[in-house]
């Protein structure tokens, strides 16, 4: 269907294109009655302002961008990103700014996307997710001068504020809880080691293990999928010295590990306790329900968008954190029953 134009509105209203322009842009030059009639016809025809035209007139694209460097099939079952996007949309609301979302197959494609968006003025700013250790995207973004907010940190980098949550504090809470239940052999099933949030959690996990005197507190890495989570759980649970507790960096892997434990004839939590991360609805639907770190993922998106909008408006924006994660205890954790 052809997109309606100002010419179509003028023809339907029986007025000049200039009169339509005055009415649609709120400028004087037409009577109130004529303005209302033109606006009603424009709405009836489904007319909307051109983003390209608006960008030329006021310098704003009316969109923010986010590129996710994850396989599309992984995103389809990853509750974190769905809840994050929901938070972003809640903050954008019905206003004039929309979210431009792109899934990239690799890091180089992602950096190229930012350059193209900036050159074509497709977005007014971007949200950077899945921050890497020594992430070259930061230099790309600052080099082209695009407003951006990083989800992760804090970075303390001037002109590139970050919205972050206290993952290290959450790791300490989990290990304190498990140690109080008598667990001394704890394995954390983490995401890829190149992610900054993985390193933050890993360093906090190692430090807390030493502080608590755990005899075997170690981290194994996966790609966040249910298959890799299940494989990692199976390997450690059939080892000579299996852990009495497993912590997972997302809830998809934790749910998969629950199935592995049942497959191996292990009782949860009698033989092994399980702790998930992010506390999506998956954690409450399985049996036993999973103990989980509940992060304010939706609020994370709200905070990041709010910071980005202020940055685009020319305000000075500093790093900011969400409310602290909390540990929600359920039936998948208990006192040590297997030595």
Q: Can you give the CATH number for the domain in which 33 is found?
A: 1.10.260.40
Per the domain annotation, does 102 fall within a domain? Answer: yes
Please indicate, yes or no, whether residues 176 and 262 belong to a single structural domain of this protein: yes
Query: Whole-number mean pLDDT of the chain?
Result: 90
Identify whether 336 is part of a domain. Answer: no
Same domain? For 201 and 308 the reply is: no
**Would you give the distance in Å from CA 307 to the centre of its chain?**
15
Res. 208 pLDDT band, cuts 50 70 90: very high
**E runs forming strands in the chain:** 63-68, 98-103, 125-128, 148-151, 162-164, 185-190, 216-221, 245-248, 273-277, 291-294, 320-321, 326-328
* Domain assignment of residue 176, yes or no: yes
pLDDT at residue 57 tops 70: no
The answer to whether residue 183 sits within a structural domain is yes
Q: Which residues, 6+ apart, have CB-to-CB distance to 298 below 8 Å?
A: 83, 84, 86, 87, 90
Task: Let me know whether 37 and 125 are in one domain.
Answer: no
**pLDDT value at 153 more than 90:** no
Is it the case that residue 58 has pLDDT exceeding 60?
no
Q: State whether 175 and 290 are in the same domain.
A: yes
**Which pair of tokens denotes residue 290?**
């999973």
- Condensed to tens digits (0 to 9), the pLDDT of residues 294-330 reads 999 999 999 999 999 999 999 999 999 999 999 999 9
Q: What is the pLDDT of residues 240-292, one digit of tens each?
A: 999 999 999 999 999 999 999 999 999 999 999 999 999 999 999 999 999 99
Query: Per-residue pLDDT tens for 91-126?
Result: 998 878 899 998 887 778 888 889 888 888 889 999
Tell me the C-alpha distance between 150 and 307, whole Å: 10
CA 76, CA 85: separation in Å to the nearest integer?
Answer: 13
Q: Angle at CA 190, nearest 5°, toward 107 and 157?
A: 50
338 located within any domain: no
- Report the chain's C-alpha Rg in angstroms: 25
So what's the pLDDT on residue 48?
Answer: 67
- For residue 75, pLDDT beyond 80: no
Q: Is residue 335 part of a domain?
A: no
> Which pLDDT score is estimated for 22?
83
pLDDT bracket for residue 54 (50, 70, 90): low
- Residues 274/246, Cβ–Cβ less than 8 Å: yes
- 243 plus 255 within the same structural domain: yes
Domain with 192 in it: what CATH number? 3.40.50.2300
**Is 74 a residue whose pLDDT tops 90?**
no
- Residue 93 is predicted with a pLDDT of 86
pLDDT the model gives residue 60: 76
Global pTM reads: 0.81
N-term to C-term CA, the chain: 69
- Total structural domains in the chain? 3
Q: Residue 56: is its pLDDT beyond 70?
A: no
Q: How confident is the model at residue 18 (pLDDT cuts 50, 70, 90)?
A: confident
Please give the share of the chain, as a percent, with pLDDT higher than 70: 93
The confidence band for 51, taking pLDDT boundaries of 50, 70 and 90, is: low
Q: Rounded mean pLDDT of 200-205?
A: 97
Q: Exposed/middle/buried for 95, CB within 10 Å: 0-12, 13-18, 19+?
A: exposed
Same domain, 108 and 198: no
Same-domain status, 204 and 265: yes
Residue 36 lies in a domain: yes
What DSSP line would sit under 128-177, residue for residue? E-SPBTT-THHHHHHHHT--EEEES-----TT--EEE--HHHHHHHHHHH
Pair 194, 276 in one domain: yes
Q: What is the DSSP annotation of 302-320?
A: HHHHHHHHHHHTT-----E
Which residues constitute the domain of residue 256? 167-294
Residue 24: what pLDDT? 80
Residue 30 sits in the same domain as residue 95? no
Integer angstrom CA distances of residue 156 from 38, 163, 266, 291, 317? 51, 11, 46, 33, 11
pLDDT score of 339 more than 60: no
Flag whether 333 is in a domain: no
In terms of domains, do 176 and 278 share one? yes
Beta bridge partners of 216: 185
pLDDT at 20: 87
Cα-flanking dihedrals φ and ψ of residue 115, to 5°? -60, -40
Do 24 and 68 share a structural domain?
no
* Phi, psi at 285, each rounded to 5°: -90, -30
Q: Are residues 89 and 184 in the same domain?
A: no
């Amino acid at each position: 269907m052809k997109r309606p134009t100002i010419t179509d509105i003028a023809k339907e209203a029986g007025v000049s294109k200039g009169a339509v322009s005055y009415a649609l842009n709120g400028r004087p030059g037409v009577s109130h009655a004529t303005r209302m009639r033109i606006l009603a016809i424009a709405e009836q025809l489904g007319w909307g302002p051109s983003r390209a035209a608006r960008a030329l007139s006021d310098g704003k694209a009316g969109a923010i961008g986010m590129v996710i460097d994850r396989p599309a099939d992984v995103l389809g079952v990853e509750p974190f990103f769905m809840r994050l996007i929901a938070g972003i949309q809640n903050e954008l609301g019905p206003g004039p700014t929309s979210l431009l979302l792109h899934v990239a197959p690799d890091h180089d494609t992602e950096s190229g996307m930012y350059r193209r968006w900036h050159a074509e003025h497709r977005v007014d700013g971007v949200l950077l997710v899945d921050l890497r250790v020594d992430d070259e995207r930061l230099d790309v973004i600052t080099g082209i001068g695009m407003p951006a907010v990083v989800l992760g940190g804090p970075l303390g980098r001037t002109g590139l504020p970050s919205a972050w949550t206290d993952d290290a504090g959450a790791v300490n809470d989990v290990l304190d809880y498990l140690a109080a239940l008598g667990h001394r052999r704890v394995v954390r099933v983490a995401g890829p080691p190149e992610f900054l949030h993985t390193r933050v959690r890993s360093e906090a996990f190692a430090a807390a293990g030493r502080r608590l005197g755990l005899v075997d507190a170690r981290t194994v890495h996966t790609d966040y999928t249910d298959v890799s989570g299940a494989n990692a759980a199976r390997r450690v649970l059939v080892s000579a010295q299996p852990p009495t507790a497993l912590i997972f960096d997302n809830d998809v892997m934790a749910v998969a590990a629950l199935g592995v434990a049942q497959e191996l004839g292990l009782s949860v939590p009698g033989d092994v306790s399980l702790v998930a991360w992010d506390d999506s609805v998956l954690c409450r639907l399985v049996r036993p329900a999973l103990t989980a770190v509940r992060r304010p993922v939706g609020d994370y998106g709200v905070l990041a968008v709010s910071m980005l909008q202020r940055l685009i408006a020319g305000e000075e924006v500093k790093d900011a954190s969400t409310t602290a994660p909390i540990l929600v205890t359920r039936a998948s954790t208990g006192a040590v029953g297997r030595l």
